Amino acid sequence: MFTQEDMQQLLSYDGPSAVVSLYLDTDGAKQPIDTIKQQARGLLREVENGLRVDADFIERYLLHQYDWSQPGLVVFCSNGGDFFETFPTAVSFRNRIRTGDKPYVKPLAHLLDHYAHFGVALVDQVGARFFHFHLGELQQQEGFMGEEIRKSKRGGGSAATGMRGGDSGGRHDAEWVQHNLRAAAASATIFFSRKSIRRLFLGGTAETVSQFREMLPKQWQSRIAGTFPIDMTAGEGEVRQRALKLLQQANEEREKKLVATMLGAEAGGHNAVVGLDDTLQAISEKRVQTLIISDGFRTPGYLHPDSGFVVAHLAKSPLPESELTAVPDVIDTAVAQTMAQGGHVEVISDNPDLVRIGHIGAILRY
């Protein structure tokens, strides 16, 4: 599984030759694997002659070694395979290929930001199931069953027996349901508190989910990103797919709010900048807290390797061209610089407001 440590190693890469970076949607549930292989081959044919040995190395790996078991795949290759890293993921990528002095990491930054550590709780009147996912992969799951139900299974009498006979039974019914839900909420709090969960999803009937939600501590209620109807016996794969769909919707809403926050701060003269030149200047000054860019945005530029100064237009540079290194994609360089400085990166798709201001902006530390 891809980790933050893997990201830091990619960011610090300083090899002798350029890197081919390949991102693939390898989800065999969407289309045949042979079709995916053809798409990968077409992307690899785009690689220029000087890097053909790397493209060929990747193609051989895809044909003879990769098992095609995960929905997403990232491959980095340089120097004829001397540098070769692969990262299968449970979340698919948009097909793309890049070449440059550094590994192309923007989609991986997006993966780490959007799909890290989320939880799912399925609940009904007698029990619950808890799931911890990271980057779309199941990390751990636990089950909970209400105390009275366990007693009945051990021969202590069924709680349901005394419920069939009027209001007294109905009150008893409601009491043990509430008891079970409170106990389930306590178990969920313990389970998720140990997992660094950032977002939580609840599944079950609308009534049960609503009751369970109110029994969670306020700090966990604030992390609930969505609810959905589902049977308690649903398989892990169905649970994951339902949660991922809701997570994508939640992220889209969060992205809209983030762009709106940046634009509002910039318009009010607060700690934000928009547009290519001003954003790169802020990165060069190490002031960026959150870099916000449109997915797929690319443009050439220049880097001063010693200081980390980045610029897209020479007219904006206080340094002479002789001291700068041309880079094919200054946006990728900006991403690497931001992350190396401890900032965050948001890669956002289909946001017209972000497109309008030049595909890029940033929320600043100061």
In the chain the domains, ranked by start, together with CATH numbers, are 4-104 (3.30.960.10), 117-253 (3.30.420.60), 271-364 (3.30.1330.30)
pLDDT exceeds cutoff 80 at 302? yes
Residue 167 is predicted with a pLDDT of 53
The Cβ of residue 298 has, within 10 Å, a number of other Cβ atoms equal to: 15
Best CA proximity match to 243, nearest among 137, 125, 350:
137
Residue 1 is predicted with a pLDDT of 85
Q: State the average pLDDT for the chain.
A: 91
* Strand-pair category, 199-203 with 224-228: parallel
Residues 200, 309: Cα–Cα separation, whole Å = 39
Residue 331 is predicted with a pLDDT of 95
pLDDT exceeds cutoff 50 at 357? yes
Give 147's pLDDT tier (boundaries 50, 70, 90): low
Give 171's pLDDT tier (boundaries 50, 70, 90): low
Residue 174 is predicted with a pLDDT of 81
Residues 74, 78: Cα–Cα separation, whole Å = 14
Give 214's pLDDT tier (boundaries 50, 70, 90): very high
pLDDT exceeds cutoff 70 at 126? yes
Ordered alpha helix ranges (H), 194-275: 206-215, 218-221, 236-267
- CA torsion through residues 194, 342, 90, 223, sign: positive
> Average pLDDT in the 72-101 region?
95
Q: How is residue 212 written in tokens?
A: 């369970």
pLDDT exceeds cutoff 70 at 170? no
Phi, psi of 306 (to 5 degrees): -70, -40
Residues 141, 356: Cα–Cα separation, whole Å = 44
pLDDT exceeds cutoff 60 at 107? yes
Residues 311, 313: Cα–Cα separation, whole Å = 6
pLDDT exceeds cutoff 60 at 151? no
pLDDT exceeds cutoff 50 at 155? no
Residues 146, 62: Cα–Cα separation, whole Å = 49
pLDDT exceeds cutoff 60 at 287? yes
Give 71's pLDDT tier (boundaries 50, 70, 90): very high
> Average pLDDT in the 64-89 region?
96
pLDDT tens, 215-269? 999 999 999 999 999 999 999 999 999 999 999 898 889 999 999 999 999 999 9
Q: Which residues face 138 on adjacent strands?
A: 133
> Average pLDDT in the 190-198 region?
93
pLDDT tens, 7-52? 999 989 999 999 999 999 999 999 999 999 999 999 999 998 889 9
> Average pLDDT in the 277-301 region?
96
> Average pLDDT in the 303-330 region?
94
Query: What H or E segment, with its residue span, contains residue 39?
Result: helix 33-44
Predicted structure pTM score: 0.76
**What is the edge-to-edge ordering of all strands in the sheet holding 360-364?**
272-274, 360-364, 288-294, 344-348
Q: Which long-range contacts (CB under 8 A, 24 or more apart) does 241-248 make?
A: 242/201, 242/203, 243/118, 243/120, 243/131, 243/133, 243/201, 244/91, 244/115, 244/136, 246/201, 247/114, 247/115, 247/118, 247/199, 247/201
Tell me what percent of the chain is helix, strand and coil, each rounded to the nearest 5.
45, 25, 30
Residue 149 is predicted with a pLDDT of 43
CA angle 24, 30, 31 (to 5 degrees): 80
pLDDT exceeds cutoff 80 at 342? yes
Residue 162 is predicted with a pLDDT of 38
> Average pLDDT in the 338-349 region?
91
